[in-house]
Structure 1
Amino acid sequence: MGLTKFISLTTLALTTSAVSWNAAPFNLASVPLAVRSPYLSVWLPQSAGTALNGAWPQFWTGSTLGWAGYIRVDGATYTFLGDPVVAGAETAIQKSLEFTSTQSIFVMTAGPVDINVNFLSPVEPTDLLKQSTPFSYLALSAVSNDGNAEWVSGDDSLTVMLENQELYTEYRDHIQQGAAAYYSTPNSFSLTYQTGQDTVVRAQFINNGVLANTEDTNSRAVSDNWPVFAFAHDLGTVSTTATVPVIYTVGHVRDPTIQYIVANDVYQPRSVYFWSAYSSVTDLISDFVGDYSTALGRAKAFDQKVQSDASAISSNYAAVVALSVRQAFGALELTLSKNSDGSWNTDDILMFLKEISSDGNVNTVNVIMPAWPILLYTNPTLGKCPLLGLLEYQTTGQYPNAWAIHDLGSSYPNAAGHNAGNDEAMPLEECGNVLIMALSYTQKSDDISLITQYTDLLNQWTGYIVAEALIPANQISTDDFAEALANQTNLAIKGVIGIQAMSVISGILGDTDDQHNYSSIVQHYVPQILYYATSSDGLHPTLNYGNESSLLGTDVFPESIYDMPYGVLLDTRHTYTKSDWELWTAATVMTNTTTRDMFIDSVYKYTADGESNQPLGDWYETLDGTVHGFRARPVVGGHLALVSAANNALH
């Protein structure tokens, strides 16, 4: 038995060692701890063997988030979370790590007591209020086993509570607006708290087992004596039955959330959807804390559904999907506007997506598209929310180009549009993407409002494709890092699929003339594209028209380059690939299980190889699994392409 007390505090150093714990389904490169929004995105850089108490948690960029936890058992204090250097504390031993779609669960041994440490980031796609809540849980329970950037800013020189707020402004991807961190726990007779210098607060608990119930009111820079915020709970006597969990929550709130360009170059401030039900953050936190047990029940049901559906394909696929869910939803924010009388307009719901780690753009069309399967799978009606903002802006006429826009703004959270038309030009790519998503949304949601309201725009973009897709000009595709290329087979194919999508849309709307016209164009284009893009032996499509060097059996690339240990090349100009592309491709060959599993297993090998310590990157090297710079991007929603194709929706 042990007399046990917990302290958990927010407040540098990565240690690696061989994995000495059980990991299920595998040992992650970086463990999601609290991943709920672009600005609440906390990870443990775990690599091949860093325990929960062997490194500081990090923001997705790799900057430090000082989150430390101690447990005091029979007079001895152990560190179980974070990597603080302070005298008098021993190190708890990690026994296991398990992750699901919504939870990361650690078991740590602190002398005679085992601690269950559960990081729960709820995913609630069918409840907009709960899904929009930018908070996450840390739950701690105990059982006897013997019978650099910090939270508040990306700039350590700034005063802790961000006295000088900067609306819609980031510093190293940290927002410089709002109360950057809300840290809370239920009040009880055994609760103590303390704010102050990190070493002082930690020493207080290590030496005394309680905190001093004092507040440090000296507002100062993050790096000036490292101010921390701490809570401690006394659990009393711990037996062989696990204690009732001690709940902590962490969150980030800012208001307004997004500025969005509407007609006449006016900027509309938008707020996170939860404000429609709460008048204060205090009320929100109170409900969120009180909802833990039922939230955990919902999370377990969600996890089980995803696990069951994905396991029907393969266990390796289920593991990759479980890793992908929080990351995909963690880039999304659901917002609403106000009516003229100041009330919330709950009929005006827009979803904004940050293109994390690549460009930081707002609602990038060719990022929404690869992430699309997770929306279709979890709740198809969500698909309307990111498309509406794009379509409505272009309906105002402020975007001057004839094709679909690439993104809603170059720097999140500024959905400022591109009135000068100088967004990154991907004309065929984005026109095809929007048409495909518009049809997909309509079919899966049984809602024709999107295609009814924006028929003229969709026809305009279809006209662009008709004029340009047969012989594509020198354009970039979604993988802009691969550079532009004329006559890309991929763009020609996407174009004709887009035209066919508009044919089906026209049919749904009862416009049989356009339906038949677009369909006949597709029938005319397809054989020509096949002629231009098929190799001389008639067996393979080429990367671009007439490019025999993009095939096996040429002198340019040896055949061995197509048998890479980490997957199939994205295209023959390079030896890298993308995980979302691999699993989208796997979904197109569902009935060929050998080919399907080849794609799945290569992505699984990459995610589980222990060669990285950063949040999952979708762009990597097929030769050795080296990550090519992307991390924590929402495109991993595309990993759910196979369950989306098989199941389409969670109910």
Structure 2
Amino acid sequence: MSGWMDTTNVPFSPTVERAPELWPVFWTNSVLGWAGHIRIDDNVTYIWLGDATRPTDLNFSVLTNIQITATRTVLSITSGPIDLNITFLSPIEPADPVKQSFPFTYIALTAASNDGRPHNVQVYSDISGQWVSGDWNDVTKWNLTSTDTILYHAVTLETPLAFSEKNNQAEDTITYYASLLTQQMTYMADTDANCRGQFSSQGHLMNTVNEGPAPIKTGADNVFAISMDLRTVTATSEPVVWAVGMVRDPAVQAVTASGMQETRSPYWRIAGTTQDMLTAFLQDYSNAVERAESLDLVLAINASAVSPHAADLVSLAARQAFAGTELTVGDSGTSYNTSDVKIFMKDLGASRRVNPVEVMYAAFSAFLSVNATWGGWLLRPVLDFAASPMWRQAYAPRDIGDSYPNATGSPVTAHVQGVEQSGNMLIMTIAHARATGDGSLIRAYDYTLLKQWADYLVNNTSSMPPNQITADLGSKENSTNLAVKGIIAIAAMAQACAAMDEPADAQRYLSVAQAYASTWKSLALASDGHILASYDDSTNPSWALEYNLYADKLLGTNILDAAVYSSETSFVQSLLSANPDGLPISSDQLGPKANADTAWTLFTAMTMTDSGVRDNLIDYVWNIASRNMSGTIFSTLVALDGKGGAEGNSAASPGVGAMFAPIALNLPNSRITVPQLSNSTSTNPSNPTSPGSPDNSASSSHSNVRPIVGGVVGGIGLLVLLGVGFFLWRRRRAAEDEKLDAAATQPRPYNYARETSQAWGSPAALNLPIDTSAEPTEPTAAYPRMMAKAAEPRQPQALATTGSVHMSNSGPSSNSEPPTLAPRGDIANQVSPQEVQSLRQEVQNLRLVMQSLREGAMEPPPTYHEEDL
């Protein structure tokens, strides 16, 4: 499994086949003007991107292949005698929040002769004003800036509207189109006909900028173009790279735990201006590709350990899951607080809701799989809002605003999803603590907020949850799936209590969960043992995809016995035989207009006790994505009509992060450590200046600094010394064997320390503290948790009373040593004494290299200054 979704030798749909001649579109299907041309031998021009109204002197290129990874889409295109590889790279940067938050994408082009002869080649690309607004009547202005390193166009609205959107596009962006400055570059800002016509006829642009302002859409669109003369080409030695991105600052306005409103900046602002960052971004392309390839590979290996199609789905969903979020930092107006980090999510496709809790719940597997610390940053805005005076309900909110990017609360706060959303929040909070070992979110609100939600569930998740529904379309009362979510969340609260050294609370919640589970089984199971859609449902058949059982597996609560899972697996197998196109959420949604939920299908798949049934469910989602003939973006809710089109305006939802469910389920867990507060420290979350508040506690600060230093503490201390050492040993052994053995398909750690000391926006460049006093002896939140273990049942949480809880898959224990990170399987039994000695020498050499990197890594941060368009 290479990590690619590769279409070689697979027939294209008519839409895909025409990809080089179609305009890129926003997720709402509105056009984004983005063109690409290539001119060959001074007499013929081909279009490789964008459906221009083709003059007689332009030709369309031919698409020969598409490859998709978690971070990249690569188009293989033939333009007459020249073959092009066009790479769209949207980086996912687990080790560096600066890079992760920078809202730019690379587009890179390489060219090679396909007839063995050299050719004279020029390439061109432009964007239009359609990038800056969803209303084409809006008026834009623009300018061009050239430094000694880069050249870029900057386009914005003449009158930007802060924190506003039209047709789901932001009205307060500056859109940049940029490239590294070379002698072979020319540029132009003018009408589309003038720019493209000039390039087609002359092979270069006029280095002129037409005056604005002007409406986005007139008879002739204004475009912003950059071209390169590659001269005589047999095969390019370096790619041509453009960068495109949309900058908003401030990014979000939100409610704090004190009830005050704040504006928040994108996290990358801590490192410099847009120009600083854009320069570094373009200079870092080759390193960014290496990091992307490593991440793509480790995700593909970890997912394919479950199913090859699971790896494809992760590749398809990854960018979509994270593109729906913004990583922000607290902004006082004069400085940035890097201990105050929050991620905000937009409910793309369905609404403009901010941090929609049920979508977060679906996507949370992606955060756990790539960098679990990000999951805590995603939860914090909801926890702050719920702790503020604005929220007065006993249950969790369903979102923190209905008009992104305004996270200022919704006009209507009460809802009928109290069990649903309280269960979601408790499950995610405990999942984050288990994955990172960081219990600061449990402590942050003096633990009372989580207890309030757990007590609500105790009072409302008994035999029949009254007047409670799920967030699913067409959901009904008395849902067995909803009830089991509440029961699992109560059991998860017992784990939080144990971590807080509250054994009486822990035992109480666990006892309640066990009693409720017994009652649930008496009401929810049919005579053949399968789970009904709702309690005592007499409909025949009555069933539902019990996707919330995934949380039982993820958290290791084991609140239901193995017999329930076994019976449900057998029943689902019979359903799959009768429904070859896939399954809706429940039996009452069968019919000609039935819809499937791709997220919940993946969750359900990972609860099956039979690998064949599990893989069949995964394959159903893969088939839906593969046969998508509607042209819509990958969706959580799709029609079971053979076309795979989005239903309920759910295209582009970050909820497709559920495709990471197979990876997240096999990640190791850590001991939950809850930081202790001193007697003099306030624990009132409503006081933002209090030392014990979520934004300012020492524990919170430490927890947030560790992930910022990313691959330096965790990567150097453990992933480099052990992970890379092991990888190098395996590679040496593989070379001796002349090929990779079966362990090549086993999960491996990702080397997050790659180029740490030189890379733009690196922790060292930010002059952040680096702890070199000791190497970690257990997984921490300092680095992404990418190592998968063998798929095996998770054991119940040990109810320790020591203030920390050790999560173990080998049985409950409150005092055992932390788990050792290692690839799946027993390494000790595979390594000879000579190989151990060799590995030790590798590790010692790596220690010396890493020490030298540490000593030379501390550089001052870039100076921030205000910038004008």
- What TM-score, normalized to structure 2? 0.67
User: Are 2:632 and 2:645, in contact at CA under 8 Å, matched by a contact in 1?
Assistant: no
User: Are 2:195 and 2:205, in contact at CA under 8 Å, matched by a contact in 1?
Assistant: yes
| Alignment correspondent of 2:866 | none
Are positions 1:489 and 2:480 aligned together? yes
- Structure 2 SS opposite 1:156: coil
| Alignment correspondent of 2:547 | none
| Alignment correspondent of 1:40 | none
User: Are 2:466 and 2:477, in contact at CA under 8 Å, matched by a contact in 1?
Assistant: yes
CA distance in structure 2 between the partners assigned to 1:258 and 1:396 by the alignment: 18
Are positions 1:230 and 2:225 aligned together? yes
User: Are 2:46 and 2:58, in contact at CA under 8 Å, matched by a contact in 1?
Assistant: yes
CA distance in structure 1 between the partners assigned to 2:423 and 2:88 by the alignment: 39
- What TM-score, normalized to structure 1? 0.89
User: Are 1:64 and 1:149, in contact at CA under 8 Å, matched by a contact in 2?
Assistant: no
Are positions 1:198 and 2:192 aligned together? yes
Q: How far is 1:540 from its partner?
A: 2.1
Q: How far is 1:293 from its partner?
A: 0.4
| Alignment correspondent of 1:614 | 632
Change (3 A) 1:387 1:26: farther
| Alignment correspondent of 1:110 | 79
Change (3 A) 1:227 1:487: same
Q: 2:419 pairs with 425, 428, 446, which one?
A: 428
Q: Which amino acid counterpart does residue 613 of structure 1 have in structure 2?
A: G
Q: How far is 1:424 from its partner?
A: 4.5
Q: Which amino acid counterpart does residue 622 of structure 1 have in structure 2?
A: L
**After superposition, what is the alpha-carbon deviation per residue over 1:51-89, rounded to whole angstroms, capped at 9, x for unaligned?**
332210001110000100110110211111111014221
CA distance in structure 2 between the partners assigned to 1:57 and 1:302 by the alignment: 26
Structure 1 gap segments, 5+ residues each: 1-20, 29-45, 554-558
CA distance in structure 1 between the partners assigned to 2:200 and 2:494 by the alignment: 69
User: Are 1:540 and 1:551, in contact at CA under 8 Å, matched by a contact in 2?
Assistant: no
Superposed, which structure 2 residues align to 1:367-378 within 5 Å? 367-378=359-370
Query: Which piece of structure 1 moves more, 575-584 or 324-333?
Result: 575-584
CA distance in structure 1 between the partners assigned to 2:210 and 2:393 by the alignment: 55
Q: How far is 1:105 from its partner?
A: 0.6
Q: How far is 1:528 from its partner?
A: 1.2
User: Are 2:542 and 2:587, in contact at CA under 8 Å, matched by a contact in 1?
Assistant: no
| Alignment correspondent of 1:79 | 47
User: Are 1:462 and 1:499, in contact at CA under 8 Å, matched by a contact in 2?
Assistant: yes
Q: 1:404 pairs with 375, 396, 415, which one?
A: 396
Query: Which piece of structure 1 moves more, 390-399 or 63-72?
Result: 390-399
- Structure 2 SS opposite 1:549: coil
CA distance in structure 2 between the partners assigned to 1:405 and 1:433 by the alignment: 10
- Structure 1 SS opposite 2:663: helix
CA distance in structure 1 between the partners assigned to 2:279 and 2:497 by the alignment: 49
CA distance in structure 2 between the partners assigned to 1:132 and 1:214 by the alignment: 33
CA distance in structure 2 between the partners assigned to 1:402 and 1:371 by the alignment: 25
Superposed, which structure 2 residues align to 1:93-242 within 5 Å? 93-147=62-116, 150-160=130-140, 161-179=156-174, 181-224=175-218, 225-239=220-234, 241-242=235-236
CA distance in structure 1 between the partners assigned to 2:244 and 2:136 by the alignment: 20
Change (3 A) 1:47 1:283: farther
Are positions 1:547 and 2:537 aligned together? yes
| Alignment correspondent of 2:583 | 568
CA distance in structure 2 between the partners assigned to 1:47 and 1:365 by the alignment: 38
Superposed, which structure 2 residues align to 1:366-515 within 5 Å? 366-418=358-410, 421-422=412-413, 424-454=415-445, 455-470=447-462, 471-479=464-472, 481-483=473-475, 485-515=476-506
Query: Which piece of structure 1 moves more, 159-168 or 140-149?
Result: 140-149
Q: What is the RMSD computed on CA atoms of the aligned residues?
A: 2.0
Q: How far is 1:474 from its partner?
A: 2.4
User: Are 2:310 and 2:662, in contact at CA under 8 Å, matched by a contact in 1?
Assistant: no
Q: Which amino acid counterpart does residue 467 of structure 1 have in structure 2?
A: N
CA distance in structure 2 between the partners assigned to 1:410 and 1:96 by the alignment: 40
**After superposition, what is the alpha-carbon deviation per residue over 1:315-345, rounded to whole angstroms, capped at 9, x for unaligned?**
22211111010110110110011247x1111
Q: Which amino acid counterpart does residue 511 of structure 1 have in structure 2?
A: E
Are positions 1:298 and 2:291 aligned together? yes
CA distance in structure 1 between the partners assigned to 2:209 and 2:112 by the alignment: 32
CA distance in structure 1 between the partners assigned to 2:632 and 2:385 by the alignment: 35
- Structure 2 SS opposite 1:268: strand
User: Are 1:25 and 1:319, in contact at CA under 8 Å, matched by a contact in 2?
Assistant: no
Seq. identity, %: 33
Q: Which of the two has higher C-alpha Rg?
A: 2
User: Are 1:27 and 1:608, in contact at CA under 8 Å, matched by a contact in 2?
Assistant: no
Structure 2 gap segments, 5+ residues each: 117-127, 141-155, 544-573, 669-784, 788-869
CA distance in structure 2 between the partners assigned to 1:250 and 1:425 by the alignment: 42
- Structure 1 SS opposite 2:110: strand
| Alignment correspondent of 1:365 | 357
User: Are 1:272 and 1:334, in contact at CA under 8 Å, matched by a contact in 2?
Assistant: yes
Q: Which amino acid counterpart does residue 70 of structure 2 have in structure 1?
A: S
Q: Which amino acid counterpart does residue 131 of structure 1 have in structure 2?
A: Q
Change (3 A) 1:268 1:560: closer
CA distance in structure 2 between the partners assigned to 1:539 and 1:149 by the alignment: 59
CA distance in structure 2 between the partners assigned to 1:117 and 1:111 by the alignment: 16
| Alignment correspondent of 1:605 | 623
Q: Which amino acid counterpart does residue 345 of structure 2 have in structure 1?
A: L
Q: 2:279 pairs with 274, 286, 290, which one?
A: 286
Change (3 A) 1:50 1:498: same
Q: How far is 1:565 from its partner?
A: 2.4
CA distance in structure 2 between the partners assigned to 1:310 and 1:404 by the alignment: 32
User: Are 2:364 and 2:657, in contact at CA under 8 Å, matched by a contact in 1?
Assistant: yes
| Alignment correspondent of 2:317 | 324
User: Are 2:416 and 2:467, in contact at CA under 8 Å, matched by a contact in 1?
Assistant: no
